[in-house]
Structure 1
Amino acid sequence: MDEFGACRVVRQRSFASPSGSKLVVVVWKECGATVPDSTQASIVARGRTFSPENTPTFLSVREHQDVLVAWSSEQAVRIGFIPGTVQIYKRERSAGGVTINYD
C-alpha cells in the first residue's frame, strides 16, 4: 500500500468445480484504516488468470471471513460463512454461467 488509496488483495483459497473447469477464488481486500477490509469471491474459468482489477466479484462482505464453498455440479455452487452472519455488500445469484446458493 505504497500509494494513497491503494488496496492490497490477498488470495485466500480456490475451490475447483467437479471437472476443474471453473474456480471460485476467495480473496481478502485491505484498503487501509479508512475503508473496512472485505472478503470477496469470483468465478474464474480454467485457463484464465484471476485479476482483482478485471475479474468481477459475485460476493463481497465486510471484514475477513472464512468462506465455505461446495460445488454441487458444474453449474451450481453453495456458499456459506463461518461464523455465520456478516454485513453483505454484494451477493449475486449467478455468475459466469453458475447458479449461486447461499447458506
Structure 2
Amino acid sequence: MEDVLKELLDTELQAEALVREANARHEQMIRDARSAVLSAEQRFAARIPEIHKTHLQKIDERAEQSIAELRRRYDERRRELRAVAEGRQQSALDAAIGVITDPERE
C-alpha cells in the first residue's frame, strides 16, 4: 500500500508540475501577445505621419485636378461669351449709329 501511496503522490506532484508548466506557458503566451500588440501599435503610430502625408498628397492632387477643371470650364465659357459678344458687337454698333443718325428710330 505504501508503494501505491508513493505512486499517487508522485503522480500528484507530476500533475502539479504539469499545471505549473502549463500556467507558465499560458502567462508567457499572454506576455508575447501583449508584446506583439504593443509592437504593432508602435509600428502603426510610427506610420501615422506617412499615412497622413499620403492622404494630404492625394487631397492636393484632387484639388489641383478640380481647379484645373474649373479653369478649363471658365476659359471655355469666357471664349463662348466673347464669341457671342463679338458676334453682337456689329449689330449693337449699327443700332447705336442708327439711333444717333435717325433720332426717330429706336
TM-score by length of 2: 0.13
Higher helix share: 2
Higher strand share: 1
In terms of Rg, which structure is larger? 2
TM-score by length of 1: 0.13
